[in-house]
Structure 1
Amino acid sequence: MHTPASMVTGIVFAPLGLVLVFTAAITPQWREGRARLGAAASGSLLRSGGKGQGAGVRPGPAEALVLLRSDGLWESCLQVENSELKQCWPVAGLYRSDPRVRLAQGLILASLFLCGAGIVLACIRVRCWTDIPLRGVAAAGGLLVVTAGLLSLTALGVYSHNLARLGMPDPSAPLSNPRVHHLRLHAAGSLYFGWLGSCLQMLGGGALLFSFKRPRCPAGPSCPELPVGPACRSCPEISGQPDTGVYEVSC
């Protein structure tokens, strides 16, 4: 008997979701924003920036620079548009200490751990690795994957809902740099990867949960007096066919 379709769906979609959520976690494009600097600010940026990274940028005396700012859970980047000048650094300051960012970090790490554990638990108990699949163990792995999907969805929802306010100073306090207040931030590619991966985790885990349902096999019509073997209880196709004997098989 072939592996049940629910198990196949689960062990395919759950790893895909894990890879996408992991990709979103390590990339710094959860949110992005642009800021245009005048000529004076551009010159000071080039004089102070970069440890030799700005050698290829030669703006004219009155040319303005457009800065692209991106933030992730563990890394932030700043890049000059249409140039190779780019610098990344670990998150710091108000953004790092923001409780909503720290909450998202913890939920994503817990999601990755639970999803990986659920995939390992499910994969070693499906028919690919054993003669008779242990449906209860595979379904327990699916429960872990579903929990992981819920955690990552919660982290993404918290981050998306507060995206423009994360790490920003209190509006009632005086701003040391007014330009930061005018930086318009929006969702970026890593956030969408996370949403897609979380949905795949939910789909794969939900499919594995169907393994809890164990089909029952009545005795075959050709020999109703024979008891049904324990291995046949997972193989409804055998007892459902007319004029077919019942044999001990591996499912």
Structure 2
Amino acid sequence: MVTGIVFAPLGLVLVFTAAITPQWREGQARLGVAASGSLLRSGGKGQGMGVRSGSVEALVLLRSDGLWESCLQVENSELKQCWPVVGLYRRDPRLRLTQGLILTSLFLCGTGIVLACIRVRCWTDIPLRGVAATGGLLVVTAGLLSLTALGVYTHNLARLGMPDSSKVVNNPRVHHLSLHPAGSLYFGWLGSCLQMLGGSALLFSFKRPRYATCPSCPKLPVCPACRSCPEITNQPDTDVYEVSC
């Protein structure tokens, strides 16, 4: 039970962090901003000064996409702008499926943790094992849903929100992005695995522990704390010893 109520919330935090961060996939595009041999002039009336540039300066843009937010940043610069997902990426049915699975996973995991935490042994003398195990079942289901969402997104990572390949080839203004998995995906995978481990540990609550029986009375179980017969430990008379230093 302790293993379950430690791993399940940790997995929930990691999956929630992955859901709200915009680093599910990343890509970069290299743009030329100055042509070779360009001439820059400045000066007053009747006077001029020319500076010829003989190299091409490249501007590298870093693009990152998440479930609800996209960001664009200039490499080696503090210039960064983020905005809610729009366009083809937002309308992609595979992205909508991933969003729905992640939200459902977060809800089920939170509900399972609440059920498990209020009914485990740490806060009550007699734990409700059925309720705690039901919470574990919800946590396992949440882990399966988040793993499914991550699998769908990873499998279609390079195709989410992308136009038809024929249009990209015929349109020279569309810059190619080499997309690859980013940090939020790894947070999600780790959190989903922890949810599975925590929920599986709580599922063992369905199995009730078997205590040894009292030799003098087989029908009475032995106290699991003192390992003695209840008919002896329940006697009102006890011996008290005073120890002085």
Question: Which range, TM-score by smaller chain?
Answer: 0.7 to 0.9
Alignment TM-score, normalising by the size of structure 2: 0.81
Gaps of 5+ in 1: 1-6, 42-60
Which aligned segments of 4 or more residues in structure 1 are displaced greater than 6 angstroms? Answer: none
Higher share of residues assigned strand = 2
Alignment of 1:103-142 (within 5 A): 103-142=97-136
SS for the counterpart of 1:163 is coil
In the aligned structure 1, how far is the partner of 2:162 from the partner of 2:140?
Answer: 33
Cα shift readout 1:71-121 (whole Å, capped 9, x = no counterpart): 000000000000011000000000000000000000000000000000000
Alpha-carbon offset, residue 22 of structure 1:
0.2
Aligned match of 2:71: 77
1:145 maps to 2:146: no
Distance 1:180 1:195, change over 3 A: farther
Q: How many residues align?
A: 214
Q: Is the 8 A contact 1:35 1:67 kept in 2?
A: yes
Among 29, 34, 38, the alignment partner of 2:28 is 34
Alignment TM-score, normalising by the size of structure 1: 0.79
Alignment of 1:44-59 (within 5 A): none
Aligned match of 1:228: 221
In the aligned structure 2, how far is the partner of 1:152 from the partner of 1:226?
Answer: 47
In the aligned structure 2, how far is the partner of 1:176 from the partner of 1:24?
Answer: 36
Among 213, 218, 228, the alignment partner of 1:219 is 213
Among 196, 202, 205, the alignment partner of 1:202 is 196
Gaps of 5+ in 2: 36-54, 235-245
Indicate the structure (1 or 2) with the bigger Cα radius of gyration. 2
Cα shift readout 1:185-239 (whole Å, capped 9, x = no counterpart): 0000000000000000000000000000002224222x3256338xx5xx4x65x
Q: Is the 8 A contact 1:169 1:175 kept in 2?
A: no
Higher share of residues assigned helix = 1
Aligned match of 2:229: 245
Alpha-carbon offset, residue 173 of structure 1:
3.6
What's the C-alpha RMSD, in Å, of the aligned pairs? 2.2
Q: Is the 8 A contact 1:135 1:212 kept in 2?
A: yes
